[in-house]
Structure 1
Amino acid sequence: MSVKTSTPATAPAGSVAPSEAARLRKVHWYQEPRWQRLGMLLALAVTLTLMTGEEGTTRDLFFALREDFTGPGLWIWVGIAVAVWAVREFLAEQTAGAAEKSKKAAAGPLGKVRELWASKQVRAGVLVALLALAVFGPLGVERYWQQVLVDQIAIFVLLAIGLNVVIGWAGLLDLGFIAFFAIGAYSAAYWTGALPVQPPVVLNNFLVLPIAVATCLVAGVILGAPTLRLRGDYLAIVTLGFHEIVYLMAKNAEGVTEGARGVKVERFSIDLGFFAYEWKLDPMPYYWLLIGFIVLAIFLFLRLEHSKVGRAWTAIREDEVAAAATGVDTVRYKLMAFAIGASTSGVAGVAYASKVGYINPENFVILLSVLVLAYVIFGGMGSIPGVLFGAAFLVWLPEYLREWVDPKDRYMYLGALLVIMMIYRPQGVLPSRRRKRELKMAEAGIGGADATGPAEGRQQ
């Protein structure tokens, strides 16, 4: 009697045995999202411990690490991270319910506020009150913060308003915007007779303003003309190169710009015969002058946004190919965006050079272009209120941290804030309604919403 033995069937080539497939599908505990989130929060706690801990020393390379990891700071940050993780993982439903109840409770008062805001008289009154606060509020702050308001906040607000035209409205990524700022500043130095090369006629700083604006307009056209076929990253690289050209010319052309030595620039002054006034060291007259420039720029740009030109920029930003197909002269309007956006940099450059009284090429490094870009994105591209807030807040933040944070570490906090912002609110703090709607459509898979690059193909 023969005994038949069964042999396992040979698995087809390339297939995986069921036991092997089960092993591959198995998820270890450390691979679960809950524990991965805990690991990321703990890593963030360690990073914050190093950011807020002891400063290093060249005499002992591991001094800061020993002090940070043996002191109470590490356990404080770890406790905060674990508490956040526990609330997120185990109290999410309760937290969401409480938030929903709060939203419903606030719906009534918010509705009344919206009804009031719909009135033109109310809006005008609020704007007048905000303008009065901006004009007279700084009188009650100390001298240091008045200097910050003039030398940094007001100047960067002007620059951000101009860059918002290029990025927020026309969708053209410009990483060399600070080059126009340098052109405006050196225009003030040239036409006031401060450079080795003398002008045909020496002008007052106020008379230099329209010339600087015209110079920046021409420079914007020169930059825009050879870049009309470029978009996104390629355009950004070209504008970066434009900044480096301007910066290196200012640094190396010593016979024209005095090079790294820099030049002294005359301050603002008025002499009408019957009335004369000279801006001196007090920052407030400069502040009020810059407030006037900012209000004028906002008024003109808001009118421009709702004009035919503004609508053409919006069409180019959303889909340049579709805009060209519907008859928009994309070449003309992109050149206008570069030129008009650069115009405020001319004003800012003249104002800055006249206020500080001295400029050199190191006042116009590439970092400033990156910072102005960050201010616009943080506040909300395409939104004038957002740009004003973004520039003012992010310029104020490093100065506010000066008493607690080493100067070398201040921008680390700024970078962390920008990372968090881009994750949880990519549209910015005060986005435009159009930008907010685009991002919602992009999340739903309806078209692209990248305002700094070409539009993506639509899914049918």
Structure 2
Amino acid sequence: MSDKPAAQNSVGATWASLRARWNDLPRPMQWLVGSPVILLLALLPVIDPPYISTTAVDFGATMAQVAMVALIAIGLNVVVGQTGLLDLGYVGFYAVGAYVVALMTSSASPLWSSADHGLFSGPWAWLACVPVAIVITGITGVILGTPTLRVRGDYLAIVTLGFGEIVRLLADNLTGLTNGAAGLNDVLFPELGKSAAHPDGVFSNSNDSGISYGIWWYWLGIVAIIIVLLIVGNLERSRVGRSWIAIREDEDAAEIMGVPTFKYKLWAFVIGAGVGGLSGAIYAGQVQYVDPKAFTVINSMLFLCAVVLGGQGNKFGVIVGAFVVVYLPARVQGIEIGGQSLGDYKYLFFGITLVLLMIFRPEGLFPARARLVTFGRKVYSTARRVPESDAAAQEAH
């Protein structure tokens, strides 16, 4: 009986030592050490390992959806995890980004009277739309955040929930603009890698052989995730990130100490909205069809579930949460019990998982570490060692 706690303490000490060494590495060195892991993850759908690959659905398409939801979770984590603002309508920003790309490139869009849209109808049309979608979604975040960020807690959650539903209902009812429930088809995508085998390019959904279109979208999602992680990581280590943490811990205390809380909350909303718009642009290009049914409250809850499962405030934790939310239902989709696929019970499983998680690990699978507190402890321990060394030197004299 006594050996088991000792072994657990040894494993915990080893893990803590490895984590401390990792945190002590410079940021470029961390990326260099982590690059083989990123490369392995990128090659995962190409390797198609038998015990990990999905059987009922395409594994490459599943991993592309994982990358897209991971990107959404990183943006939502800025709002919920780092700033402590409960946003239940994040799917609204996701919808705005998708509809911007669809309206600017779809052949069914009423914005254009002819098939020639200029810059938005050529092979680079999707890439040209991405910055437009990010900017417009960021402006939407300003429009929503300016009047609503003065409320807190449950009131903010209700307002953002209403925003998500307003966007979906507008997309469903503005038939003259969005084509209503029929949606917008023929959304353009990056026309890269055209050949005799792939006349529409490697990103087209007609590319279902060899390295399928899902794998290419997965790689594009990984590139987008790395770029967003670099931007968000730099913000975390700046005055903006420290202000977000102060607001999350105690907004009143932060305001008393001189932090312009409204300004930095609006920053978080705009940055989160921009990342959501980027995710929506990737979704529109990958599916090549946009309709209101993809932007329901349930999807918004799943995005929040990924953040809570992975660990609020931990960028890499929410990526793991996104993987769990997307991959596990797809993995058990082909397993049937009593004639019913286990994938159909995903909401039941997520509910049970969240209840158990809140009981046994309320901070998520990978809770965020307070780096400033850790640094403070190092300073404190160093300050204690200095007087001890001085006292020893005095005794020696």
TM-score by length of 2: 0.79
Secondary structure of 2:86's aligned partner: coil
Mapped to 1, the partners of 2:311 and 2:184 lie a distance apart of: 36
Q: Which residue of 2 aligns with 1:428?
A: 364
1:350 to partner: Cα distance: 1.0
Q: Which residue of 2 aligns with 1:245?
A: 166
Q: Which residue of 2 aligns with 1:268?
A: 190
Distance 1:110 1:147, change over 3 A: closer
Secondary structure of 2:370's aligned partner: helix
Secondary structure of 2:225's aligned partner: helix
Distance 1:232 1:435, change over 3 A: farther
Q: Which residue of 2 aligns with 1:188?
A: 101
Q: Which residue of 1 aligns with 2:344?
A: 408
1:417 to partner: Cα distance: 1.1
Q: Which residue of 2 aligns with 1:148?
A: 62
Whether 1:224 aligns to 2:129 is no
Report the aligned-residue RMSD.
2.5
Mapped to 1, the partners of 2:311 and 2:323 lie a distance apart of: 13
Distance 1:389 1:116, change over 3 A: same
Mapped to 2, the partners of 1:337 and 1:347 lie a distance apart of: 15
Contact 1:227–1:238 under 8 Å retained in 2: yes
Cα deviation digits, residues 75-128 of structure 1 (max 9, x gap)? xxxxxxxxxxxxxxxxxxx4xx44312124436754764575445587444311
* Higher RCO by CA contacts (8 Å cutoff, separation 6 or greater): 2
Match of 1:198 among 69, 93, 111: 111
Q: Which runs of 5+ in 2 are unaligned?
A: 195-199, 206-212, 375-397
Whether 1:326 aligns to 2:257 is yes
Q: Which residue of 2 aligns with 1:233?
A: 154
Contact 2:202–2:216 under 8 Å retained in 1: no
1:137 to partner: Cα distance: 2.1
Percent of residue pairs bearing the same amino acid type: 38
1:410 to partner: Cα distance: 2.3
Mapped to 2, the partners of 1:417 and 1:111 lie a distance apart of: 26
Mapped to 2, the partners of 1:330 and 1:433 lie a distance apart of: 22
Secondary structure of 1:269's aligned partner: coil
Q: Which residue of 2 aligns with 1:99?
A: 4
Contact 1:191–1:201 under 8 Å retained in 2: no
Match of 2:243 among 312, 333, 349: 312
Mapped to 2, the partners of 1:413 and 1:105 lie a distance apart of: 33
Q: Which residue of 1 aligns with 2:268?
A: 337
Mapped to 1, the partners of 2:322 and 2:371 lie a distance apart of: 19
Q: Which residue of 1 aligns with 2:226?
A: 295
Match of 1:280 among 201, 204, 207: 204
Distance 1:218 1:111, change over 3 A: closer
Distance 1:157 1:108, change over 3 A: closer
Cα deviation digits, residues 329-381 of structure 1 (max 9, x gap)? 11211111111001111111111111111111001111011111111011010
Mapped to 2, the partners of 1:237 and 1:177 lie a distance apart of: 12
Runs of 4+ in 1 over 6 A off after TM superposition: 435-438
Mapped to 1, the partners of 2:21 and 2:254 lie a distance apart of: 37
Mapped to 1, the partners of 2:165 and 2:279 lie a distance apart of: 19
1:266 to partner: Cα distance: 1.5
Contact 1:165–1:382 under 8 Å retained in 2: yes
Tell me the number of residue pairs that the alignment of Structure 1 and Structure 2 aligns: 339
1:409 to partner: Cα distance: 1.9
Q: Which residue of 1 aligns with 2:85?
A: 172
Q: Which residue of 1 aligns with 2:74?
A: 161
TM-score by length of 1: 0.69
Mapped to 2, the partners of 1:366 and 1:98 lie a distance apart of: 49
Higher mean C-alpha displacement, 309-318 vs 161-170: 309-318
Mapped to 1, the partners of 2:371 and 2:12 lie a distance apart of: 24
Mapped to 2, the partners of 1:228 and 1:355 lie a distance apart of: 33
Contact 1:195–1:263 under 8 Å retained in 2: yes
Secondary structure of 2:332's aligned partner: helix
Match of 2:35 among 124, 128, 132: 128
Higher mean C-alpha displacement, 139-148 vs 226-235: 139-148
Distance 1:113 1:243, change over 3 A: closer
Contact 1:176–1:239 under 8 Å retained in 2: yes
Match of 2:305 among 345, 362, 374: 374
Whether 1:256 aligns to 2:177 is yes
Contact 2:330–2:343 under 8 Å retained in 1: no
Distance 1:104 1:237, change over 3 A: closer
